[in-house]
Amino acid sequence: MKSHLLIVGSLAFDDLEMPFGTFENVVGGAATYSALAASLFTEVRVVGVVGADFPEDTLSKIAGRGVDTRGVERANGKTFRWRGRYSKDLSSRESLDTQLNVFADFRPKIIPEYRDSQYVLLGNIHPALQLEVLSQVTAPKLVAADTMNFWISGERKLLTDVLSKVSLLTINDEEARDLSGEHALPKAARAIRGMLAADSGPRTLIIKRGEHGALLFDEHGMFFVPAYPLEDVKDPTGAGDSFAGGLLGHLTRTGDVSARSLRAAMFYGSALGSFCVEDVGPARLFTLEKQDLSRRLDGFRKMVDSHGALDGA
């Protein structure tokens, strides 16, 4: 049976104040980035909500990449909107405005056609909603989740409940420290892996560090992939979500969640993150071809190829 990846999260409009200009009404949202990234690998199903102002044409373009958008609800009102300003070197950003709009009342409804999804990516939404999603899927093989400081400090009990049903968590350094109360990442990872589901898939924590790569912690230890150094970074928005999409896309396509497959997935995640930042918004993800991916993988291969330096060292 063919595997599908179910992605639940936000679709949005972003207003991006970049050092080289301001871009308004850019299509965004974690689910958008993750779905577009994953669509290069596998069949993706998206659940989210948009307002009356979200162009049908944009949904069609997303669907045109092989994303099943039947699960995207259209509500009366405006689409979720975020406005942010990036620092000159793009290494940090400031949220200027967040308008939840139709996302404020979002209750994820998993349509019957989606309930058999074997791979699930719970985007960074309220833990109560993440639990509602899980109650509607029948027998997922691997559930991955993202979260953020807001839920770690404000909804810890519900979040703990989510984590106990999840086998793969992707967060950043700071979130890992807040969630575990440990500063050193190996200690934080040990604590967090202990919170994850024991019975479904390998307990895996992935710490995303933006331009500094990503660390995976699983039962085999830790594994690192660098970010791909680019000639020209235009817009980091959505890079972490694209990483998650590439990662889960690979796992879904292969149906393999072994240590080896997870490590390959880390490279695919990092590759998709690197494509994402090459243009403003998700533009690059709309044009990405399998050949682009295989060329970038060649780049990664070189970048981590020690020419056998550690053999018998």
Residues forming the site for a second copy (CB under 8 A): 89, 183-187, 209, 212-213, 215, 220-224, 226, 229-233, 258-261, 263-264, 266-267, 297, 299-310, 313
- In whole angstroms, the minimum distance from the beta carbon of 38 to a second copy comes to 17
Q: What does DSSP say about strands 214-218 and 93-99: parallel, antiparallel, or unpaired?
A: unpaired
Cβ-based nearer residue to a second copy, 106 or 300: 300
- In whole angstroms, the minimum distance from the beta carbon of 311 to a second copy comes to 9
Cβ-based nearer residue to a second copy, 224 or 286: 224
Cβ-based nearer residue to a second copy, 108 or 245: 245
Cβ-based nearer residue to a second copy, 76 or 306: 306
- In whole angstroms, the minimum distance from the beta carbon of 166 to a second copy comes to 23
Cβ-based nearer residue to a second copy, 112 or 312: 312
- In whole angstroms, the minimum distance from the beta carbon of 254 to a second copy comes to 10
Cβ-based nearer residue to a second copy, 103 or 300: 300
- In whole angstroms, the minimum distance from the beta carbon of 252 to a second copy comes to 16
Asked whether the CA dihedral 124, 62, 266, 12 is positive or negative, the reply is negative
- In whole angstroms, the minimum distance from the beta carbon of 118 to a second copy comes to 21
Cβ-based nearer residue to a second copy, 12 or 18: 18
Concatenating the DSSP letter of every residue in the chain gives ---EEEEE---EEEEEEETTEEEEEEEE-HHHHHHHHHTTTSEEEEEEEE-TTS-HHHHHHHHHTTEE-TTEEE-SSPPPEEEEEE-TTSS-EEEEEEE-GGGGG------GGGTT-SEEEE-SS-HHHHHHHHHH-S--SEEEEE--HHHHHHSHHHHHHHHTT-SEEEEEHHHHHHHHS-SSHHHHHHHHHTTS-SSSS--EEEEE-GGG-EEEEETTEEEEEPPPP-S-----TTHHHHHHHHHHHHHHHHT--SHHHHHHHHHHHHHHHHHHTTSSTTHHHHH--HHHHHHHHHHHHHHT--TTTTTT-
- In whole angstroms, the minimum distance from the beta carbon of 306 to a second copy comes to 4
